Amino acid sequence: MSDIVLHNYYRSSTSYRVRIALEMKGLSYDYVPHHLRHGEHLEPAYLAVNPQGLVPALVLDDGTLLTQSLAIIEYLDEIHPAPPLLPKDPLGRARVRMLAQMIACDIHPVNNLRVLTSLRTLFGAGDQDITNWFRHWVNEGFQPLEKILASSPQTGTFCHGEAAGLADICLAAQITSNARFGVDLTPYPTITRINAACMALPAFQKAAPQNQMDAE
């Protein structure tokens, strides 16, 4: 048994982010799955843990609850600083947060499961409508992200320099979700290159959705 409990779902990109961070930090944790498509995250037992009914949720050994993937990852980075997921200099930290939030705040929120489900139930969207919606918002975010990464001297093998960090975690998780909707990455060579570098790392591989106990 570990002192850390991660409530998550194998296919959730936000859960994937936190799993990557935990693997990068070398931290063991108890994996508690909640099948989002079966509504398990809305059952009373889980709502008693996380009233928001979302994943991921991290429960510490003293019972403290942390939600929201970026907040969880930054907490882990502060408590377990090696390897660092954010640069030491203020401008570098701001840049990495900017890149991460372009994905985590601008792309993911309009493309997560509850939004896609609402498009179906409230507006009668069909499968192709959902796919078009998802691709549209990814492209809206990836077009400027590609330009920023391709033109910045601070971009290295990874989003910022030569070590994977917070922005790379968000990028890799998003691209994994993209694959389910057939998003064309041809217009984004820099993003594609960085993602390949990420997926060569053991932490990203071990945390990948297909390698989780609840994978289908």
Pairwise CA distance, residues 140 & 118, whole Å: 21
* 31, β-bridge pairs: 6
- The tokens for 11 are 């296919």
* Pairing outcome for strands 57-59 and 65-67: antiparallel
What domains lie within the chain, and their CATH numbers? 7-81 (3.40.30.10), 88-202 (1.20.1050.10)
Closest CA to 107 of 135, 67, 75: 135
Per run of 10 residues, the mean pLDDT along the chain (length 216 residues) is 90 98 98 96 97 97 97 98 98 98 98 97 98 98 98 98 98 98 98 98 98 97
- The tokens for 60 are 């510490």
∠ CA 169-204-58, rounded to 5°? 65
Burial 56-90 (b: 16+ CB within 10 A, else e): bbbbeeeeeebbbbbebbbbbbeebeeeebbbeee
Closest CA to 193 of 150, 129, 148: 150
Q: Give yes or no for a contact between 157 and 194, defined as CB atoms under 8 angstroms apart.
A: yes
pLDDT of residue 2: 75
* pTM exceeds 0.85, yes or no: yes
Q: Map residue 7 onto helix, strand or coil.
A: strand
